[in-house]
Amino acid sequence: MEYRHSAQQIKKKILAKLEHNFGVGLENATNDQLYKSVALLAREMMEQGRSEFMAEAEKKQAKQVYYLCMEFLLGRSLKNTLFNLGIEEAFREALQQMDVKLETLYDCEPDAGLGNGGLGRLAACFMDALATGQYPSTGYSLCYEYGIFRQKLVDGWQTELPDFWLPGGRIWLHEIPEKAVEVHFRGHVEEHWDSSYHETIHKDYTTILAIPCDLFIAGMGGKGISRLRLWKSKGQAFDMGLFNSGNYMRAMEENAMAETITKVLYPDDNHSEGKSLRLTQQYFLVSASIQDIIRTHLFQYSTLDNLPEKVAIHMNDTHPVLAIPELMRIMLDECGYDWDRAWDLTTRTLAYTNHTVMKEALECWDQDLFRMQLPRIYQIVEEINRRFCQQMHDLGVDGYKVGRMAPLNDGYVKMANLAVVGSHCVNGVSTLHSEILKETVFHDFYTEMPDKFTNVTNGIAHRRWLNQSNPELAALLTEKIGKEYIYDASQLKKLEAYKEDKTVLQELAKIKRRNKERLAAYIARENHLTLDPNSIFDVQVKRMHEYKRQHLNALNILATYLWLKSHPNADFTPHTYIFGAKAAPGYYFAKQMIRFIYELGEVINHDPAVSSRMKVVYVEDYRVTLAELMIPAADISEQISLAGTEASGTSNMKFMINGAVTLGTLDGANVEIHDSVGDDNMLLFGMTTPEVEALRAAGYHPDQIYYNNPAVHGAIDFLRGGINGVDFSDIANSLTGNDPYMVLADFESYQRAQAKAMQLYANPETWQRMCLCNIANAGRFAADRAIREYAERIWHCAPLTEKTEN
């Protein structure tokens, strides 16, 4: 596919789109109509490219990768598409001829409301890397009408509003009603036996249609194009008989309930209805996707006997793990395979990535709810469980151990156990995380089937997070080390040759300064707060959660504020603390953490005694587009989770490649960042994972730290007294009570790291050298590398063609 056109050709095509699709000429066109016309052109180019790419894949009978995930946090598509196809400048020139700025059209696009945090952003980065690596691939998720939610802070309290992203985002979606599939819920199962024949019939079930909406993601250079297939739920045809009999509400209700499935990502599950809806969403995703995969495969090969050789299905976290019994259902009920053959094909086709070491995040479904919603799937899970337990007993495995490993036990369907039992490979997402999985979460499995476990450290789409988000830095890199790093991020290592070059270090400082000014202008506009770009921009952006310990950061800010009030003439490097995060709607404590930070900011920012030296900003409605603004402006990257709790993290990688210095614990991928940059280019603090476990085993008493550390004592007492009239005794009591994530245990070490950061920042040359070393060593954290490792170690597939650099 040839994507390059002259500016004049592009202009002509844009004008044609305006007239054909919107019935307007240039003189009457709105920016929104221009944006949609450009997006349509880009989409059509990708559709054509995808068609040609997949025709070649089919001709070569290449192995297909199918990536199942409940969320894909894409952000905006237009800039990424034009950049990766190599046509951004041609479009910019064409629009300039029409007196339109391309950047204005970028701002017309909403962030796609299809994801929430690191899991979804990782999936989006992987789709980019799969396309760039030229692996024939399809991602599967749901077409959420309202996405996660739009965050609004009302007096510091998070309020969730609908995220109306589809009016501007639908232009990227190609809906294909003729490829809809049926998904069945509830009903009952009948079994018929005779001496030679067994038949299972699922009867009186509720049928919901899954309609595919395709969104395309271009790889760098445009040779490979990934497809993200999003399923939209719809009820069966409107029941006129029901309506005419007077059951008006029921006739309407059935369609409304069906469409609820794809209304909102992650509905609050603090009640039974929410749990039922989440289970329904998960099965809807996997049933539609597995049916689609099987249909595509049979169309080409007419048999499933070669499925593991031609198809790799990857389950990203536990949400899509029902793919295991669903694939078994299709093979048993619709394709006539016996159990052993179906199980062999299923397990050799499916693989699983675990993203958490916390047991409360490993999904378990109540057995009765599961049986009621998915009766046939429950039957299959029962049989998987029976056979697995029998196999373990036959091998002489201890009964208690078998019980811990069982997919069905204690009245629950345990999704992580089912994932390990039904996959040929299980991977963690950082070296430390993978070791913790083997030593704790899946230790029983690891001792019985060690060959099933591996590690693939996460990676980011470095072209988006560097070239597109930080174009001035990318231009400097291209000038100094060439453009090969765009295709091969390991080439960033060449930048280390300039770590003693004062001119390069000064240029890095100037670029960072302009990025900080850009962010400061946004905050002045949105938060009505003036920031000092000379101050340290200390940034923590990620999901709001206790284990990520935003309250450790906030407690230090409070202690620092109280210290400055007592020492007004002390030497102190001006500091701007910037936060961005959403809390799950039902997570009260996380919402209190947000309010704590917000109210703390209100006090500090309006206190003339300190406001020229420190400020606190909570950026509302954190999302990909804001991350692209905030991350290039950061001096310090806060990665402060308790050691042993963060699986990997990917914001740490995004900050690193943009020249921020990591202030963090040896947790997740921070361990590998430390391996890459060393002690001199990172601000380490806190306990290691073994030290955390040792303290926990010995008995942790945070109240002793409270009484013995004056800074902690003063900050918590201030917190207990309330801030701006808001009571935060629940946070104070948690910290001095059981302190589950050991905030107080790491507090003193964290303060020392902050003091060291201010000392280093005071020497611009030293600081910029640290920044340069971080950029130069960020290449190992590219998604391209991660995808190559998945392809080689887990999926056993090869790129369609060898890449050529242009």
Q: Could you tell me the pLDDT band of residue 743, with boundaries at 50, 70 and 90?
A: very high
Q: Does 210 have pLDDT greater than 80?
A: yes
Q: Identify the CA nearest to 695 among candidates 738, 770, 744, 745.
A: 745
**Six-digit token string for 319:** 């949400």
Computed over every residue of the chain, the mean pLDDT equals: 94
Rounded average pLDDT over 170-193:
90
Other beta carbons less than 10 A from residue 259's beta carbon = 15
Residue 634 resides in a domain: yes
pLDDT above 90 covers a percentage of the chain that reads 90
Cβ atoms of residues 77 and 134 within 8 Å: no
Residue 509 resides in a domain: yes
Rounded average pLDDT over 246-253:
61
Cβ atoms of residues 453 and 427 within 8 Å: yes
Q: Does 441 have pLDDT greater than 80?
A: yes
Rounded average pLDDT over 238-245:
61
Q: Does 589 have pLDDT greater than 70?
A: yes
Q: Identify the CA nearest to 681 among candidates 769, 780, 782.
A: 769
Cβ atoms of residues 629 and 621 within 8 Å: no
Q: Does 73 have pLDDT greater than 50?
A: yes
What is the rounded CA–CA span in Å between residue 706 and residue 512? Answer: 38
Residue 663 resides in a domain: yes
**Six-digit token string for 434:** 């993978």
Residue 385 resides in a domain: no
Residue 240 resides in a domain: no
* Strand 64-68 to 575-580 pairing: unpaired
**Six-digit token string for 41:** 């052109």
Q: Does 803 have pLDDT greater than 50?
A: no
Q: What is the model's pLDDT at position 804?
A: 39
Classify the C-alpha dihedral 110-116-122-127 as positive or negative. negative
Rounded average pLDDT over 717-735:
96
Residues with a catalytic annotation lie at 355, 542-543, 548, 650, 654
Q: Does 239 have pLDDT greater than 80?
A: no
φ/ψ (deg, to 5) at 803: -75, 145
Per the structure, the complete domain to which residue 665 belongs is given by: 479-780
Q: Identify the CA nearest to 650 among candidates 263, 73, 28, 11.
A: 73
Query: Tens digit of pLDDT for each residue in 257-270?
Result: 788 999 988 876 77
61: left (phi over 0), alpha (psi -120 to 50) or beta: left
Cβ atoms of residues 124 and 226 within 8 Å: no
Query: Tens digit of pLDDT for each residue in 344-368?
Result: 999 999 999 999 988 766 899 999 9
What is the rounded CA–CA span in Å between residue 341 and residue 331? Answer: 9
Q: What is the model's pLDDT at position 762?
A: 96
Q: Which letter does DSSP use for residue 195 in this model?
A: S
What is the rounded CA–CA span in Å between residue 660 and residue 668? Answer: 18
Cβ atoms of residues 329 and 377 within 8 Å: yes
Q: Does 208 have pLDDT greater than 80?
A: yes
Rounded average pLDDT over 164-188:
95
Q: Does 799 have pLDDT greater than 70?
A: yes
What is the rounded CA–CA span in Å between residue 444 and residue 438? Answer: 8
N residues, the chain: 806
User: How many domains does the chain divide into?
Assistant: 1
Q: Does 806 have pLDDT greater than 50?
A: no
Query: Tens digit of pLDDT for each residue in 302-342?
Result: 999 999 999 999 999 999 999 999 999 999 999 999 999 99
φ/ψ (deg, to 5) at 552: -65, -45
Q: What is the CATH number of the domain that holds 577?
A: 3.40.50.2000
Q: What is the separation of C-alpha 611 from the centre of its chain, rounded to a whole number of angstroms?
A: 35
pTM of the model: 0.96
Candidate from 142-146, 189-193, 372-376, 703-707 with smallest mean pLDDT: 189-193
Residue 484 resides in a domain: yes
φ/ψ (deg, to 5) at 180: -65, 150
Residue given tokens 């179906």 in the structure block: 342
